[in-house]
Amino acid sequence: MSETDKEAIEYHVRGILKAIGEDPDREGLAETPERVARMLEEVLEGTAYTNHEIAQMFGKTFEAPCDDEEDNVIVMKDITIFSYCEHHFALMYDMSVNVAYIPRGKVLGLSKIARICDMAAKRLQLQERIGSDIAEIISEAAETPDVAVFIKGCHSCMTSRGIKNASSKTETLTCRGRFRTEKELREAVKDR
């Protein structure tokens, strides 16, 4: 995937500042283009990697401790992430991710699950795609088809502009494998 072109970002941020009637050379704004370029490089870091590369980076697994994995579901809840909406560059915030999977001989390190969620969110995204990307990466990294991802979050394109509905939250549920067909498994990943 592509690397961030910080010089181009600085040039265009300077142009945006001029376009909205600001003086990009005034105190307080003189270093803003550079700061925005560094910030975008950081918060959009996931853009530089494919889902496969993220699975490789954070795919540290351990032998599953149980003989019969079919009866075990691993659920990690309340992983905090944020992202930016690809439609408005608006912040998606107060996002909480729950990930569940059924191990097939291997379990992921818990911190790796959180890192996968974080990296998948660090792209210009849709909440629906974040869930799909996380499910794809977890499935590859843990070598299991049985994955579910539940995300709940606020979108500033809804809360601070447009309709300005400050209390709205969006929930998405992505299900793969047995989570698609077995309702009780789907319920395990949702908030209660």
Q: Return the active site residues.
A: 85-88, 127, 155, 157
The secondary structure of residue 105, as a DSSP letter, is S
Q: Kindly give, in sequence order, each residue whose CB lies less than 8 Å from that of residue 167, ignoring residues fewer than 6 positions away.
A: 159
Reading the block at residue 178, the tokens are: 């047995």
Q: 180 exposed, middle or buried (CB, 10 Å; 0-12, 13-18, 19+)? A: middle
Place of tokens 């300077």: 14
Q: How many CB atoms lie within 10 A of CB 165?
A: 12
Cα 77 to Cα 58, 85, 152, distances in angstroms: 18, 23, 11
Asked if 41 contacts 10 with a C-beta cutoff of 8 angstroms, the reply is no
Nearest residue to 145 (alpha-carbon basis) of 180, 112, 171, 97: 180
